[in-house]
Amino acid sequence: MNYIFYILIVVSIIFGAINGTLTDVVNSILTGAELSVKVAFSLIGIMAFWLGMMKIADKSGIIKFIAKIIKPVTKKLFNEIPENSPAIGDIAMAFTANAFGLANAATPIGIKAMEELQKHNENKSSASNAMCMFLAMSTAGFQLVPATVIAVLIGIGYKNPTEIIAPTLLVTSTAFLSAIVLAKVFQRLWKPQQNGKENN
């Protein structure tokens, strides 16, 4: 991430100077910073709502119940996490919300799942294998119906917008499965987590 951060910023400035877009690049610092705060603050309300709901779900045993049902799958994917940890139930809830395109619920629940995974993490500033797996699965963004895209297609008078669903599903499943396989492969190749000594 150090290199990516450096490259994104320094290359933008140098290229902006050559390309004559330096003013835009400099202005984008302010707009980008403002946007970040807007994004974070827009999360507060919905975050609070779902954290509240998830707490009830947790206390009434729903999360544990879900974790139990999907145990055969998660035992393989998140082998470092104890089987009955609430993290497993949270992860399942996050993916359910994501699959149905409920981004408003998926993000707060995903964050809750990450917090649970952090409890099992030995080095609090470095991502555990389970966290890398969960992040890789989340970024693949498995979704059954791409609602926003379909809305745009309907807007331009696309005759049969649902024909986009099948290919999209095929592609997103491919990406999702590759993310899982890749995360497992890298888990073996990457040097194991050390306490506070890692470089990335």
Is residue 69 a contact point for other proteins (CB under 8 A)? no
Contact, 80 vs 120, CB < 8 A? yes
Q: Out of 68, 76, 122, 147, which residue is the one contacting other proteins (CB under 8 A)?
A: 147
Is residue 66 a contact point for other proteins (CB under 8 A)? no
Contact, 121 vs 132, CB < 8 A? no
Q: Out of 49, 73, 76, 122, which residue is the one contacting other proteins (CB under 8 A)?
A: 49
What distance in Å separates the CA atoms of residue 13 and residue 7, rounded to the nearest whole number?
A: 10
CB of 132 to other proteins, least distance (A): 4
Q: What does the angle CA 47 – CA 134 – CA 2 come to, to the nearest 5 degrees? A: 90
Local structure of residue 80 (DSSP, 8 states):
T
Q: Out of 33, 69, 76, 84, which residue is the one contacting other proteins (CB under 8 A)?
A: 33
Q: Which of 132, 138, 102, 140 is nearest to 192 (CA)?
A: 132
Is residue 12 a contact point for other proteins (CB under 8 A)? yes
Is residue 72 a contact point for other proteins (CB under 8 A)? no
Q: Which stretch binds other proteins (CB under 8 A): 44-52, 68-76, 77-85?
A: 44-52
Q: Which stretch binds other proteins (CB under 8 A): 70-78, 83-91, 140-148?
A: 140-148
Is residue 64 a contact point for other proteins (CB under 8 A)? no
Q: Locate 168 and state its tokens.
A: 């999209």
Q: Locate 114 and state its tokens.
A: 């990450």
